[in-house]
Amino acid sequence: MGAGHSGVPTVNVAALNRQLLGTWADVRVLARELTARPDLHRIEGQSMTEHRDRVLAQLKILADNGHVHRAFPKDLGGSDDHGGNIAGFEELVTADPSLQIKAGVQWGLFGAAVLHLGTKKHHDAYLPGIMTLDTPGVFAMTETGHGSDVASIGTTATYDPATREFVIHTPFRAAWKDYLGNAARDGVAAVLFAQLITQGVNHGVHAFWIQLRDESGAFLPGIGGEDDGLKGGLNGIDNGRLHFDQVRVPRENLLNRYGDVAVDGRYSSAIASPGRRFFTMLGTLVQGRVSLDGAATQASAMALTIAITYGSQRRQFTAGSDTDEEVILDYQRHQRRLLPRLATTYAQTFAHDQFLVKFDQVFSGKADTDDDRQDLETLAAALKPLSTWHALDTLQEAREACGGAGFLAENRLVGLRADLDVYATFEGDNNVLLQLVAKRLLTDYSRKFAHAGTGVLARYVVAQAADRAYHGTGLRTLAQTVADFGSTARSVGALRETNVQRELLTDRVETMIGEIAGKLRPAAKLPAREAAALFNSYQDALIEAARSHGELLQWEAFTQAVETTEDEGTRQVLTWLRDLFGLGLVEKHLAWYLINGRLSAQRAQSVTAYIDRIIARLRPYALDLVEAFGYSQDHLRSSIASGAEKERQDEARDYYRTLRASGQAPAPEKAPKKK
Amino acid sequence: MGAGHSGVPTVNVAALNRQLLGTWADVRVLARELTARPDLHRIEGQSMTEHRDRVLAQLKILADNGHVHRAFPKDLGGSDDHGGNIAGFEELVTADPSLQIKAGVQWGLFGAAVLHLGTKKHHDAYLPGIMTLDTPGVFAMTETGHGSDVASIGTTATYDPATREFVIHTPFRAAWKDYLGNAARDGVAAVLFAQLITQGVNHGVHAFWIQLRDESGAFLPGIGGEDDGLKGGLNGIDNGRLHFDQVRVPRENLLNRYGDVAVDGRYSSAIASPGRRFFTMLGTLVQGRVSLDGAATQASAMALTIAITYGSQRRQFTAGSDTDEEVILDYQRHQRRLLPRLATTYAQTFAHDQFLVKFDQVFSGKADTDDDRQDLETLAAALKPLSTWHALDTLQEAREACGGAGFLAENRLVGLRADLDVYATFEGDNNVLLQLVAKRLLTDYSRKFAHAGTGVLARYVVAQAADRAYHGTGLRTLAQTVADFGSTARSVGALRETNVQRELLTDRVETMIGEIAGKLRPAAKLPAREAAALFNSYQDALIEAARSHGELLQWEAFTQAVETTEDEGTRQVLTWLRDLFGLGLVEKHLAWYLINGRLSAQRAQSVTAYIDRIIARLRPYALDLVEAFGYSQDHLRSSIASGAEKERQDEARDYYRTLRASGQAPAPEKAPKKK
């Protein structure tokens, strides 16, 4: 492979596929054999009840197969493989997102909460039943009144030393647990989050094991609930509501890894700060965000595989020919709609693999300092919003690019979009997550000024890019570089340079954060309400800065992937695709670069022209690039991507060709002569 | 009403409601009484079959009520009221978009084709059964192989003088009729579009009346079909496929208003040019695009009513207070997500009313010159894409802004979004429509240079805005104005000026079109293929120019509406909202204004700052502005917009207030002292 004849590069699709599969390629290949099984597939058009039944049965298949046990301890039949577990889990999205998310509820949330928040006695007592699905369970955290702000949930767990029990109680309607998978029907137990109150003190949110239903499926005394009913998607999952009226559970039901209550009611915890304890407990649940990032990226890859395959076969309108219609992917607009989204999907795929490696290091204990855990949280909060929004955008654009055919359920795009919709707000509302990223960037920024020159802000970036122009030189030097930028990189060609793209993207994040930090400085001296109002007046700008940070992380990951690509032809094509991603970001934020004097008007104008050129250059590789994702028809199951469109087009063209050759074709009506 | 005490403006909601209801306010008020009826409402979660049954029964209610007969001739029981008909039709979207679109298939496409393409004998024979729904029918135009390019459909209708019949035939699979409402189940007849061939000449696409099914519902001999099955939405409609094997229909079945075939096979038409004849025939079907523009705008208005009502009651996170959580609409980001979309929805509402007036003038014959019809087509092609995309964007943002609650079917947003999805590609794919607009703008541009200075390009705009600064002075003078712009309107305040916004928006459209026209000039001398390639290389830019033209039309309509608002306070608030819309457009295209020297970096930066200020100023009016849309709970039927959230919040706050007052509240755990 490599450069083909006459210097035109060719893509080594098999090698690229392996690269895209990433660190846990073997797990993914195995998982894709599993997800090719028809009995794990979504059947479009099932009623909510049928779909719930089917998904529950499918969960049992996953449990029996062991596919979902990798993260559990070896001594209980798992393999202590955290990264591999998430990789395998993500792949379920091609079978049915309901299956994926219901599996996520059972093993990724309910099971993981027991694993990470409980101690040995809880593991031994509960994990076996969770792993086999003998105990389907609920992760009862969110309430009708509190989603993003978990610290403020209303449910209470008050310790009663007289009976050595916790009393679980829902004090008002807004404190009902809500939107909980497995709650409406299948869940027999729950990990329930409540304010732990003992000896008159509220120690904040803790998790408790609680039995919900008896063997007949009826709620135990004091427990009630409701079905959330039909949703915009994911209707294979029985989301529902729960409420508790003074329900007593034994003291031992507290999942006591991070905090415990003695028989006499004394509270103890190895983590002294209540705030830090809360974030430590919640931090163990980051895997939800990790896996949504991966699953959303896979859904985008599937959508583009379908739309680009169809776009390469479908013909519509003649363009300068009397007989042959154009393949629609040859229209510039069609390319503009799909290829930049393909570039973003590649960037996300590579960024996700790095993210997953980081997750695995923390959860395996290979690298789990406080800093590592905070970095992981920030990565999750930066990447999950971008990829879940990108999936919705890409699924919709792909649907529209396939016209009426895209709207048919048989072509998968509408079903996937409906299911993925909620990925944008669950496991952390995207806007709230980006705000967390922004706060972290602000913190790092102020730390940097405290310990000048350590470059903490761009921690991940710097660590990943040893050759970065201003590595370790701090903001001041970068500002200098930027000031010189207009003269040092005048030509259009400079935009193709890796370091130029890096500087443009990095500079933007750092400048935005620096500016906002300056504007927020007075807040420290203001009364709380006024400080909050000042912060609120920059909320939108902060979220934009956080988004740009996430984009930079994706760009860095893409660049690293390009640099490690061995096949020359593949590397060339990936470089173009990376340029398309990088310059697409610059184009999106072009006004900022102009206003801030980073790009002249002339060079800014050349960005769009250059993007048009890259897109035209990438067009011949579009099919290779989606083929490299590696989905078979068993995963796509989209009739318009099956080759049926090509058959129809060939038949129609043959018909007209034969008709013309026969001399029997009707003549076109002659237009009247102009006067 | 007007300015309240201390000079703070107040909104006269009732008067504003009347203004938003527009020219056919009475029809809309009546229609909303109808759409409030529970038997016309969508029942979420019905199976496809149940939903189809229900919608068919609802159609019968509409037929009996006469709601859908306004466009038909008076002598057949209609009222020849074309504008009122569309206004009433649009309102059906609040009941169920499936009901709306199935009604549109029956009376707006199938019935309208008989009305506009047939002659008296067809009207008398077919319209009564169509109006009563005794003859449910199909509008059989689109084929699997041809959607946007109707002129290239494959179905043939070959005249056989021996039997005085047309032979309807489907020559290959791609020529199957597809995606047709009423085709899978209910349609007993169709208006079928096919290439009319007689005496060895193809006279292009014509429409034919054809019986599809017998009284038992079985296909007649030679006719076959398939069900399109489940779709992403609109599942109350039985879309399907049809194919024909040498099916014979009498000569009289040709809907012969624009072209006829004599007994001996001679073809005749009052329109000599085949191209013009084709566009005239298709032009009669513009009402689909008109009504989608209106319906999509109503769906956006409903989404914003729901999200803004919920956002005004929902609380999450404290901001500078120990006890009180913030109403989420008080967060800047939340305002940024919803209020600019509200401004766009207002602009669309006003633009739609003007569009509908134009439609009514053409179809009533009050003003139906060729130019009028072309203007109407271009308006439709410019406005329908913008409003249908806006609806999807707004429904999604509203859904996310309501979090998990937004994902529940009971809150309506996901269902509406799923149904509206296909509005972006049916009745003309949005991208294809915008290309038509661009071509018209290019034509007008070149005409202008032929007959210098007549200002044809901005035809609608000029006609609507007598006070426009450069009215009738042509491009050259405008360019001069623009060159002076930097000095004449230096202050930030200038951005609030109506004329400044108008110049910025108009100049952009005209400059873009002028530039592209210059680049395309060589095409005239190139071979067809190369000319097409040149055109293709500017396709994306052309579509962007067309979009800007549509935005300008919306802005002009909004501005006109502001100018005719009598209540002073309402006018003030609407002016802010119009500014938000206008400056939002400038912000979106900021890079263009910078690159082209229309705004300095300093003023460009002030655009965003000023938008932030307008949004904060509009916040207190958000509820008034959605209330003015005039939807009752019978139309919204969204539990989160019913006041339930306020009840929950009040109950929770009362609980904590009482608890604090009792002295029994648990104390928060003290953070450890810092070392």
Task: Give the largest Cα separation in chain A, rounded.
Answer: 106
The answer to whether residues B413 and B439 belong to one domain is: no
pLDDT at B219 over 70: yes
Q: Cβ contact (<8 Å) for A320 and B533?
A: yes
- List, for residues A173-212, the tens digit of each pLDDT value: 999 999 999 999 999 999 999 999 999 999 999 999 999 9
Q: Which residues of A touch B228 (CB under 8 A)?
A: 408
Q: Which two tokens stand for residue A420?
A: 């993925």
Is residue B391 a part of any domain in this protein? yes
Tell me the chain B residues in contact with residue A321 when contact means C-beta distances shorter than 8 Å. Answer: 528-529
> What crossing angle do the helices spanning A25-35 and A82-90 adopt, rounded to 10°?
40
Q: Hey, are the CB atoms on A672 and B594 less than 8 Å from each other?
A: no
The reply to whether B453 and B340 lie within a common domain is: no
Residues A470 and A481 in one domain: yes
User: Average pLDDT, stretch A612-625?
Assistant: 97
Tokens representing B630 are 């005039």
Query: Amino acid identity of B439?
Result: K
SS (H, E, C) B314-362: CEEEECCCCCCEEEHHHCHHHHHHHHHHHHHHHHHHHHHHHHHHHHHHH
Non-local (6+) Cβ contacts of A146 within 8 A are A152, A153, A154, A174, B316
DSSP assignment of A35-55 equals HT-GGGS--TT--HHHHHHHH
Does the pLDDT value for residue B595 go beyond 60? Answer: yes
What is the DSSP secondary-structure string of A347-386? HHHHHHHHHHHHHHHHHHTSS--HHHHHHHHHHHHHHHHH
Residue A525 Cα, gap to closest chain B Cα (Å): 13
Q: In A, which residues are within 8 Å of B425 by CB distance?
A: 400, 403-404, 406-407
Instruction: Report whether pLDDT(B80) > 90.
Output: yes
Q: Are B19 and B55 in contact (CB under 8 A)?
A: no
The reply to whether B449 touches chain A by the CB within 8 Å rule is no
What average pLDDT does the segment A569-598 reach? 97
CA distance A381 to A290: 9
Contact B418 A590 (CB under 8 A): no
* Sequence-ordered list of residues with C-beta below 8 angstroms from that of A38, at least 6 positions apart, any chain: none
B539 contact residues in A (CB cutoff 8 A):
331-333
Answer yes or no: do B602 and B643 share one domain: no
pLDDT of residue B201: 98
pLDDT band for position A100 (50/70/90)?
A: very high
- Among chain A residues, the shortest Cα distance to B419 is held by A407
Q: Are residues B537 and B573 in the same domain?
A: yes
Least confident of A538-552, B375-389, B542-556, B593-607: B593-607
Bridge partners (DSSP) of residue B224 are B243
* Residues A451 and A562 placed together within one structural domain of the fold: yes
Which chain A residues touch B330 with a CB distance below 8 Å? 536
User: Quick check: is A283 in a domain?
Assistant: no
CATH of the domain at A303: 1.20.140.10
Among B219, B78, B197, which Cα is nearest to B138's? B219
Instruction: Specify if B104 maps to a domain.
Output: yes
Q: Does the pLDDT of residue A607 top 90, yes or no? A: yes
For the cut 60, the answer to whether the pLDDT of residue A377 exceeds it is yes
Q: How far apart are CA A348 and CA A353, in angstroms?
A: 9
Confidence label for A674 from pLDDT (cuts 50, 70 and 90): low
Domain co-membership, B102 together with B180: no
A314: left (phi over 0), alpha (psi -120 to 50) or beta: beta
| Rounded mean pLDDT, A233-242 | 98
Q: Which amino acid is at A358?
A: K
Task: Give the span between the Cα atoms of B452 and B472, in whole angstroms.
Answer: 11
pLDDT at position B2 over 80: no
Residue with more model confidence, A213 or A452: A213
Token pair 């120690």 in the structure block, residue? A203
Verify whether the Cβ–Cβ distance A672 to B273 is below 8 Å.
yes
Mean pLDDT of A615-623: 98
Q: What phi and psi values does residue A219 have, to the nearest 5 degrees? A: -65, 145
From the list A195, A229, A409, which residue is nearest B230 (CB)?
Answer: A409
Measure in Å the smallest separation between the Cα of B522 and chain A Cα atoms.
Answer: 15
Domains of chain B: total? 4
CB-CB under 8 Å, A203 with B529: no
Question: Which tokens hold the place of A541?
Answer: 């700008």
Each residue's pLDDT tens digit, A264-310: 999 999 999 999 999 999 987 899 999 999 999 999 999 999 999 99
Confidence check: pLDDT of A101 > 80 = yes
Domain closes at, from B273, B300, B332:
B273
* Backbone φ and ψ of B198, nearest 5°: -150, 145
| Residue A463 pLDDT greater than 60, yes or no | no
Q: Can you tell me the mean pLDDT for B93-111?
A: 98
Is the pLDDT score of B489 beyond 50? Answer: no
Listed in order, strand segments (DSSP E) in B515-672 are: 667-668
Amino acid at B502: R
Report yes or no on A403 lying in a domain. yes
B280 in any annotated domain:
no
Question: Looking at the predicted structure, is the pLDDT value of residue A650 above 70?
Answer: yes
pLDDT at B472: 33
Domain that holds residue B486: 429-622
Predicted confidence (pLDDT) at residue B473 exceeds the cutoff of 70: no
Cα B565 from Cα B561, distance rounded (Å): 6
What integer pLDDT is reported at residue A449 of this predicted model?
A: 61
3-state secondary structure A465-495: CCCCCCCCCHHHHHHHHHHHHHHHCCCHHHH
Work out the number of other CB atoms within 10 angstroms of the CB of residue B224: 13
DSSP A238-258: --EEEEESSEEEEGGGB--SS
Q: CB contact, 8 Å: B489 with chain A?
A: no
Contact at CB, A230 and B317, closer than 8 angstroms: no
pLDDT band at A445 (very low <50, low <70, confident <90, very high): confident
Size of interface A-B (CB pairs under 8 A): 300
Q: Are B260 and B290 in the same domain?
A: no
Q: Tell me the residues of chain B between 576 and 615 that have a Cβ less than 8 Å away from chain A.
A: 590-591, 594-597, 601, 604-605, 612
pLDDT tens for A155-178 read 999 999 999 999 999 999 999 999
In chain B, the residue whose alpha carbon lies closest to the alpha carbon of A648 is B174
Identify which of B200, B63, B198, B185 has the alpha carbon closest to the alpha carbon of residue B131. Answer: B63
Mean pLDDT in residue range B378-383? 97
Segment B627-631 mean pLDDT: 98
Q: What is the pLDDT of residue A460?
A: 35
- The answer to the question of residue A198 being in a domain is yes
Q: B274-283 and B370-401 are packed helices; what angle lies between their axes, rounded to 10 degrees?
A: 50
Interval B58-62 mean pLDDT? 98
Put simply, whether A400 touches B (Cβ < 8 Å) is yes
Kindly indicate the confidence band of residue A464, based on its pLDDT and cuts at 50, 70 and 90: very low
CATH number at residue A229: 2.40.110.10
Which residue does chain B place closest to A674, by CA atoms?
A: B273
Write down the pLDDT at residue B492.
Answer: 60
**Rg of chain B, C-alpha, whole Å:** 28
CA distance A327 to A338: 14
Please name which of A220, A226, A263, A256 lies closest in space to residue A241, comparing C-alpha atoms: A226
Q: Based on the domain organization, do B300 and B381 belong to the same domain?
A: yes
Q: How far is A580 from chain B (nearest CA, A)?
A: 16
Has residue B667 been placed in a domain?
no
CATH (domain of B22): 1.10.540.10
Mean of the pLDDT values across residues B279-303? 94
Q: What is the pLDDT of residue B5?
A: 54
Beta bridge partners of A143: A177
| Whether B453 and B387 share a structural domain | no
Q: Tally Cβ neighbours within 10 Å of residue B128.
A: 14
Q: By three-state DSSP, how is residue A165 classified?
A: strand
- Whole-model pTM: value is 0.94
pLDDT at B469 over 60: no
Q: How far apart are CA B512 and CA B493, in angstroms?
A: 26
Quick one: pLDDT band at residue B464, thresholds 50, 70, 90?
Answer: very low
Name which of A230, A406, A527 is nearest B44 (Cβ-Cβ): A230
Kindly report the number of other CB atoms within 10 A of residue A194's CB atom.
28
pLDDT in the model for residue B461: 38
CB contact under 8 A, B321 and A536: no
- Of A97, A132, A167, the position where a domain reaches its end is A132
Specify whether A204 is located in the same domain as A184. Answer: yes
Mutation to test the B interface, candidates A230, A423, A596, most B Cβ within 10 Å: A230
Of B591, B596, B652, the CB nearest to A172: B652
Dihedral pair phi/psi, residue B250, rounded to 5°: -60, 155
pLDDT digits (tens, 9 = 90+) for B504-533: 999 999 999 999 999 999 988 999 999 999
Give the bridge partners for B261, in sequence order: B267
Sequence length of chain B is 675
Residue with tokens 């008050």: A158
Cα atoms in the 13 Å half-sphere on the side-chain side of B527: 4
Beta strands A156-160 and A189-198 are: parallel
CA distances to A657, B105, B186 from B89, rounded to whole Å, are 45, 11, 21
pLDDT value at residue B1: 44
Residues A468 and A606 in one domain: yes
**Looking at A132, A162, A195, which one is the last position of a domain?**
A132
Q: Who wins on pLDDT, B640 or B671? A: B640
> What ipTM was predicted for this assembly?
0.94
Rg of chain A (C-alpha set):
28
Euclidean distance between CA atoms A146 and A150, whole angstroms: 6
pLDDT of residue B674: 58
Nearest-neighbour CA in chain A from B463: distance (Å) = 32
Residue B133 is given by DSSP the state T
Phi-psi region of A644 (alpha: psi -120 to 50; beta: other; left: phi over 0): alpha
Contacts of A45 in chain B (CB under 8 A): 47-48, 229-230
Task: Give the count of beta carbons closer than 10 Å to the beta carbon of residue A446.
Answer: 16
| Confidence at residue B321, expressed as pLDDT on a 0 to 100 scale | 74
- Is B536 close to A331, i.e. CB distance below 8 A? yes
Nearest CB to B274 within list A319, A530, A669: A669
Q: What average pLDDT does the structure give for chain B?
A: 92
Listed in sequence order, the residues at least 6 apart from B66 whose beta carbon sits closer than 8 Å to its beta carbon are B77
- Among A307-316, A469-478, B443-452, the range scoring the smallest mean pLDDT is A469-478
B 249-288 residues with CB below 8 A of A? 267, 272-275
Mean pLDDT confidence for A533-557: 96
Distance of CA B31 to the CA centre of its chain: 19
Residue A74 tokens read as: 């070896």
Q: How much of chain B exceeds pLDDT 70, in percent?
A: 92
On whether residue B388 sits in a domain, the answer given is yes
